[in-house]
Amino acid sequence: MSREKEAELKAKEEKLNRKIKKTVWNAINEFDMIQDGDRLMVCLSGGKDSYTMLDILMQIQKASVFNFEIIAVNLDQKQPGFPEEVLPNYLTEVGANFEIVERDTYSIVKEKVPEGKTTCSLCSRLRRGTLYEAAERLGCNKICLGHHRDDILETFMLNLFFAGKIETMPAKYITNDERFVVLRPLAFVKEEQIIEYAGYRNYPIIPCNLCGAQENLQRQVVKKMLATWDEKYKNRSEIMFTALSNITPSHMFDDGLYDFKNLQSKILGEIKAGAEYEMP
């Protein structure tokens, strides 16, 4: 490759890096994700999203006014053929503090889930419980997950179509026992940007052999549907994602969010108070 071409690619990488870092910083500011003294457990799966999350957070850590710690944690689920040396080698190379947690959740999922059925739900629950245990042992008060903007929008559509509820992955929430705050620093970052950035950074991607090939998942169907809409209608996903931050409870149907039962017009109040009005 010529020097000119290398310089051109480097400039594109740096431009994309600045754009993603700014987008992540906007999410951190908007949801007040990080404060002084935080100890972040950054969950690293070996996929493009979590690599990018760790990469950007480490850059922000170096340049930030906040004094916080990062511990990268990978859960080795004992999937057959899992290259155990890849993540430790990478994390050592980039100078990250890390821990590899070994737990054979793979065998549990394969035993409990019938052939052909979706493994994601059980796998996710087992993973989450193990990671919470690790966070407590490591003294981490916040847990960072690598879900991006497209994941969040797809989850919204899945809940709308198949669960009958308006809900998605929040950028920040607290666990039920209130022990940990869970963050999604990539919440505003587009998947296409992460794919491009991962290509520049040449991350050692580790595929998921447990569920990655399940093309019949409803999530894959929704992903294709959104991609088709974006091809036909420019910025459709952008507009839909904006809607998640632009909610008017009084124009929905959830009486737990808005007190419809006690709505009363001023006219009725005046009538009850004895005001007189002309009849037509």
The tens digit of pLDDT for each residue in 2-30 reads 888 889 899 999 999 999 999 999 999 99
CA dist., res. 260 & res. 191, Å (int): 39
Within the chain, strands assigned E span 39-43, 69-76, 98-102, 142-144, 172-174, 181-183
Residue 79: the pLDDT is 79
**Residue 75 phi, psi (nearest 5):** -100, 110
List the domains of the chain with CATH numbers: 3-219 (3.40.50.620)
Residue 215: the pLDDT is 47
Residue 103: the pLDDT is 78
The tens digit of pLDDT for each residue in 108-130 reads 766 666 665 665 666 677 778 88
Residues 209, 81 contacting (CB under 8 angstroms)? yes
Q: Which residue has better confidence, 242 or 4?
A: 242
The tens digit of pLDDT for each residue in 131-166 reads 999 999 999 999 999 999 999 999 999 999 999 999
Q: What percentage of residues in the chain have a pLDDT greater than 90?
A: 68
Residue 247: the pLDDT is 95
Question: Which sign, positive or negative, has the C-alpha torsion 28, 33, 34, 35?
Answer: positive
R_g of the chain, CA atoms, integer Å? 23
Say if residue 188's pLDDT is above 70.
Answer: yes
Residue 185: the pLDDT is 98
Q: Is 141 exposed, middle or buried (0-12, 13-18, 19+ CB in 10 A)?
A: middle
* pTM score: 0.88
Mean predicted confidence (pLDDT) in 203-223: 73
Mean predicted confidence (pLDDT) in 232-238: 92
Say if residue 77's pLDDT is above 90.
Answer: no
